Amino acid sequence: MAQGTLRLHNKFASQFLSTRRDLIVYLPPGYEESTARYPVFYLQDGQNLFDPVTAFNGQTWGADATADDLIARGRIQPVILAGIYNTGVRRISEYTPTRDRQSRKGGKAVRYAQMLAREIKPFIDHEYRTRKGAADTAVGGSSLGALASLVTGLEYPRVFGGMAMLSPSVWWDGRSILSMVRAYRSRIHGRIWLDIGTAEGSNPSQIVEDARLLRDALIERGWSDLRYCEAEGADHSERAWAARFGSVLEYLFPPR
């Protein structure tokens, strides 16, 4: 089976956030030999996507192997995966939409969205043969990374036409993300994948209920192209998200 290739861009600098971060890019099989242009999926916590050396607890999503397999079987269109590394201690701050009233942390997700839409996407579009329109551009992540992805999609609906939220941390700051969704006024509603495991955290039933509240808020604001999934027995881990990543790709990037 043909395999894609990985390229690393070190220490990407942003005017919106002070910390530099690495970008890891998966190019689908045949990219180097073709002149075609490709859709792009921007993913948070990029160090967890491909390499066990950089991944949390050594557990990756195996995103490259999953994409290779689905492309080879014609289940998805060839797609570029652009992983944005998190910045360690600043991850919570950059991935959350509001400053938590108790911990006094967080609240820079809008700046993070600016970086994604106004700096990282133009950089990827310049470096690689991409299809630049919103219909061919998605953003996604897990846990707090799912919140950052949702904020990015809400802030830039004309840039990111697809969103994927795996096990979103809806609980953050009294479920402040629900207020952001309810305040959404654009007539643009792209595709959304939203999921949750039924065995996440110390209070799984509450975690599932939070995900259902987010699903309902999105539907109330006009999203109809929304796939919601409750993964039976799945916990809050890279392994669980890896198991669902193929379904995410099939939903957001079906064959043309």
Cα–Cα distance, 146 to 171 (Å, whole number): 12
Average pLDDT over residues 198-224: 98
Q: What pLDDT was estimated at residue 210?
A: 98
> pTM of the predicted model, to two decimals?
0.97
Q: What pLDDT was estimated at residue 8?
A: 98
pLDDT tens digits along 212-225: 999 999 999 999 99
Q: What pLDDT was estimated at residue 81?
A: 98
Average pLDDT over residues 125-149: 98
Taking a C-beta distance cutoff of 8 angstroms, is the pair 191, 163 a contact?
yes
Report the percent of the chain where pLDDT is more than 70: 100
Cα dihedral: 59, 62, 64, 66 (round 10): -170
In terms of phi and psi (left: phi > 0; alpha: psi -120 to 50; beta: otherwise), the region of 113 is alpha
Of 123, 110, 185, the closest CA to residue 152 belongs to 110
State yes or no: pLDDT of 102 exceeds 80: no
Taking a C-beta distance cutoff of 8 angstroms, is the pair 68, 80 a contact?
no
Taking a C-beta distance cutoff of 8 angstroms, is the pair 156, 133 a contact?
no
Q: Which residues of 203-222 are buried (b: 16+ CB within 10 A; e: fewer)?
A: ebeebbebbeebbebbeeee
Cα–Cα distance, 170 to 213 (Å, whole number): 9
Taking a C-beta distance cutoff of 8 angstroms, is the pair 200, 207 a contact?
yes
State yes or no: pLDDT of 26 exceeds 80: yes
Taking a C-beta distance cutoff of 8 angstroms, is the pair 192, 162 a contact?
yes
pLDDT tens digits along 35-93: 999 999 999 999 999 999 998 888 999 999 999 999 999 999 999 999 999 999 999 99
Average pLDDT over residues 183-194: 97
CA 186 to chain centre: 21
Q: Which domains does the chain have, with CATH numbers?
A: 5-252 (3.40.50.1820)
What confidence category does residue 100 fall into, taking pLDDT thresholds of 50, 70 and 90?
A: confident
Please give the DSSP secondary-structure letter assigned to residue 68.
Answer: H
Q: What pLDDT was estimated at residue 105?
A: 83
State yes or no: pLDDT of 206 exceeds 80: yes
Q: What pLDDT was estimated at residue 78?
A: 98
Beta-bridge partner residues of 81 = 26, 41
State yes or no: pLDDT of 104 exceeds 80: no
- Backbone φ and ψ for 127, nearest 5 degrees, come out as -80, -25
What confidence category does residue 157 fall into, taking pLDDT thresholds of 50, 70 and 90?
A: very high
Of 111, 229, 96, the closest CA to residue 175 belongs to 96
Of 74, 80, 48, the closest CA to residue 61 belongs to 48
pLDDT tens digits along 222-243: 999 999 999 999 999 999 999 9
133 contact partners, CB below 8 Å, separation of at least 6: 161
State yes or no: pLDDT of 24 exceeds 90: yes
